[in-house]
Each structure stands twice: as C-alpha cells, then as structure tokens.
Amino acid sequence: MITPLLFAGIIYFLGNLPILFLSSFIPFLASKEYIFIFLFFIFSLKFWSKKRWHQENIWLNLGFKKLKDNFYNLTVRKEIYKSFVIIISWCFLLIIFGYLKFKTSINYNFLFDILFTAFFVGVAEELLFRVWLFEELNLFLNKKHAILVQSIIFSITHPYNFDENLLINLLMKIGLFLLGLYLNLLRLNNYPNIFPSIAFHGGIVGFIFLAKSILEIKINYPSLIYGIQYDNFINPVGGFIGLFTLLILNFNQIKKFYKREI
C-alpha cells in the first residue's frame, strides 16, 4: 500500500505548486488547488494504469475514446433519468409539506456553476474512487472486499459536519457509504465503462444544485427524514428517504453483480 500512498501524496503536492506561484497573480485560483490536482491525476493515470494494473489503454477501456457511443447509450440515459426522478420526487415531498418554496428571482449565472459542479464532481470522484482506488484495492483484496473498503473510504473522506449531532452525521456517513457502494457496483456491472456511474453521480449533484437555484428552505424541516442542511440547501443522502432509495438501488445492483460473477 506504500506505492499508492506515495502516488497520492506526489499528485497532491504537484497540484498545490501552481497555486503557490499563480494565486497572487490570478486571485480566482486561490483555494482552487483541486483543479490542478485533478489535472495532474488525469495526466498520470494512463502511465499508472499500464504499470500497476497492466491496462494498456485506460481511456479506451473506460469509454472516453468512444465518447459518443458510450455517453449516449441506454444505460447512461437511464442513470441520468433515475437521478432526475429521485431528486424531483424528493423536492416535491419537501414542497407539498411546506419545507421548501420557490425563490422570487433566479440567478441564471448560477447555471454555469451547476453544469461545472455536476461535470467535475461526476468525472473527478468516479475516476478517483471507482477507478483508481478500486483498482488499487483490487490488487490486495478480492473484488467484494475491495468494493466495501472503497465505499468506506469514500464515506470517510467526505467532511464531518460539526454543526450537526452525532446521529445526523452517522446517517450521512451511512448514506455516503451506500452511494459509494451503488456507484462501484454500477461501474462493475457495466465494466469497464465508467459513464453510467458518472451519469448518476453527476446527475444527483447537478439536479440538487439546480433545485437549490430555484428553491429555498422555508421553515425548519425534519432532517432525519430529508437529510442535513448543507450550503444553504438540503443534502438528501443522509435522510431516511435517501437511505431507503439507496438501499433499493443497491439491492438491484447486487443482484446484477452476482449474476455477472456466476
């Protein structure tokens, strides 16, 4: 495990170097080191996958070389539709029970941030967790254990909310674990194509941000049911509705996974 830890440390160090030199000239880049970390990670992934995983062309395997065929296939569209239905149904419940209301004005400049965030989070986290981390764990563990450990690490690395109590944070960590589990199973059930996982993850993030741009929290709401408040909106992953939804999604993917393994 020393080799992947060194790799992660070097990529993190290299990603922070441009900030030290450029942030004073370009203030926008302050606290944007994740962009450079991601770029260094992307540039090194082909070499790393060839040496460590013996995959000759990782980008072809993941589907990026046949972008049109892989991005617009039926499975990818289903995951985008699925994420849309989940978020719009969740918002509908919040609206009818009076916990959300429509904003009087919409910031259309925010739409670019929505697209960027959905794309960046969807692509970056899927390549990091469902590709790099899983493939590294798969060198030392069997596939089932690698799936579980990847999901645990995915949950742990997301920040703890110190403004909420222990139970709320515990439910959030469980929700993130279930989300990581679903995304990893989705990737393996469509192996090696990563686009279904990117579509669902990016869709969930994008549609939450879209809802945030037109809706606002009206009154106090039951966070155990709907999820914790985050960045002036609600994150559904840690609420009972989100947990129940993720359990159903995982149940279907686990059945598909075992059928493939058999």
pTM, full prediction:
0.91
Question: What token pair was written down for 165?
Answer: 């109590």
**How many C-beta atoms surround the C-beta of residue 229 within 10 A?**
17
Q: In which band, very low, low, confident or very high, does the pLDDT at 184 lie, cut at 50, 70 and 90? A: very high
Burial 94-110 (b: 16+ CB within 10 A, else e): beeeebbeeeeeeeeee
Taking residues 9-34, report their average pLDDT: 77
Per-domain residue ranges for the chain? 1-52, 67-261
pLDDT at 133 over 70: yes
Taking residues 175-201, report their average pLDDT: 93
Instruction: Identify the pLDDT of residue 29.
Output: 65
More confident residue, 106 or 174: 174
The predicted-structure confidence for 237-256, as pLDDT tens digits, reads as follows: 999 999 999 999 999 999 99
